């Protein structure tokens, strides 16, 4: 069974980033994929110090083993696709999620050819800048980008409010459809194109 790894870069285990990723995970499950959502937690994730130890060791792992980086590398090596989600802090993703991606990719996680996607969640602004930042590393490690009907952005403030963003939730489901199609197509070359839902536009003016 093909598997997609989803990484929740929020310090809140069941915040709106989780609800966005879970919507995509459920849509992938419905297509027959196995999914796992990994929460990075609240402990510090070490940043890359460019020591080159991983290159010298050559085993595809970071030489520092005091956080979850190597555990996630092992999970990624067994996965067929990756979705990374983060809340927006000052117009950027969380520092911990960026630290994790930098070390994963530099250490040599097996990611080439596996579809990847970024998801950002915010109260109001900064989501597109954070989305672009989170997506950039994928393009340097030969990971084809899985897209959706819109940028992969969901809105919400209090935990669970993201589920009220009808278009955002649909964007997550469409992302899952596209990623599922890409994985099947890369493996068989005969996958049928996805059938999309009628568009659900959402705005935030309430009367």
Q: Is residue 109 in some structural domain? A: yes
Which residue is listed with tokens 């419905």?
Answer: 30
Cα–Cα dist 76/3, whole Å: 9
Domain ranges, residue 108? 3-188
Per-residue pLDDT of the chain (207 residues; tens, 9 = 90+): 899 999 999 999 999 999 999 999 999 999 999 999 999 999 999 999 999 999 999 999 999 999 999 999 999 999 999 999 999 999 999 999 999 999 999 999 999 999 999 999 999 999 999 999 999 999 999 999 999 999 999 999 999 999 999 999 999 999 999 999 999 999 999 999 999 999 999 987 765
Q: How many domains in the chain?
A: 1
DSSP annotation of 66: S
Cα–Cα dist 144/44, whole Å: 29
115 CB neighbour count, 10 Å cutoff: 24
DSSP annotation of 14: T
Q: Where are the beta strands (DSSP E) in 19-128?
A: 34-39, 81-87, 116-122
Per-residue confidence (pLDDT) for residue 57, from 0 to 100: 96
Q: What is the pTM of this model?
A: 0.97
Q: Is residue 169 in some structural domain? A: yes
Burial of 146 from C-beta contacts in 10 A (0-12 / 13-18 / 19+): buried
Q: Is residue 40 in some structural domain? A: yes
CATH number of the domain encompassing residue 149: 3.40.50.360
Q: Is residue 20 in some structural domain? A: yes
Give kind and range of the element (H or E) at residue 44. none
Q: Is residue 205 in some structural domain? A: no
Strand order through the sheet with 116-122: 34-39, 3-8, 81-87, 116-122, 153-155
Q: Is residue 70 in some structural domain? A: yes
Give kind and range of the element (H or E) at residue 181. helix 166-188
Per-residue confidence (pLDDT) for residue 204, from 0 to 100: 77
Q: Is residue 200 in some structural domain? A: no
Q: Is residue 11 in some structural domain? A: yes
205 CB neighbour count, 10 Å cutoff: 4
55 CB neighbour count, 10 Å cutoff: 11
Per-residue confidence (pLDDT) for residue 200, from 0 to 100: 94
pLDDT tens column, 45-56: 999 999 999 999
* Cross-strand pairs, 37: 6
* 8 Å CB contact between 10 and 94: yes
């Amino acid at each position: 069974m093909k598997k997609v790894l989803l990484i929740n870069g929020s310090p809140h285990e069941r915040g709106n980033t989780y609800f966005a990723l879970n919507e995509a995970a459920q849509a992938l499950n419905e297509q027959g994929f196995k999914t796992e959502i990994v929460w990075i937690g609240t402990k510090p994730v070490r940043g890359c110090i460019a020591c080159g130890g991983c290159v010298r060791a050559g085993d595809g792992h970071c030489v520092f083993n005091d956080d979850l980086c190597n555990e996630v590398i092992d999970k990624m090596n067994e996965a067929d696709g990756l979705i990374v989600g983060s809340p927006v802090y000052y117009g950027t993703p969380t520092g911990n999620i960026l630290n994790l991606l930098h070390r994963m990719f530099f250490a040599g996680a097996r990611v080439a050819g596996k579809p990847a996607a970024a998801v950002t969640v915010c109260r109001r602004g900064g989501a597109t800048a954070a989305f672009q930042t989170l997506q950039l590393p994928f393009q340097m490690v030969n990971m084809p980008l899985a897209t959706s009907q819109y940028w992969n952005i969901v809105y919400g403030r209090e935990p669970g409010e993201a589920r009220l963003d009808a278009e955002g939730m649909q964007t997550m489901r469409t992302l899952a459809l596209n990623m599922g199609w890409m994985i099947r197509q890369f493996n068989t070359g005969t996958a049928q194109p996805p059938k999309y839902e009628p568009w659900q536009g959402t705005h935030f003016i309430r009367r």
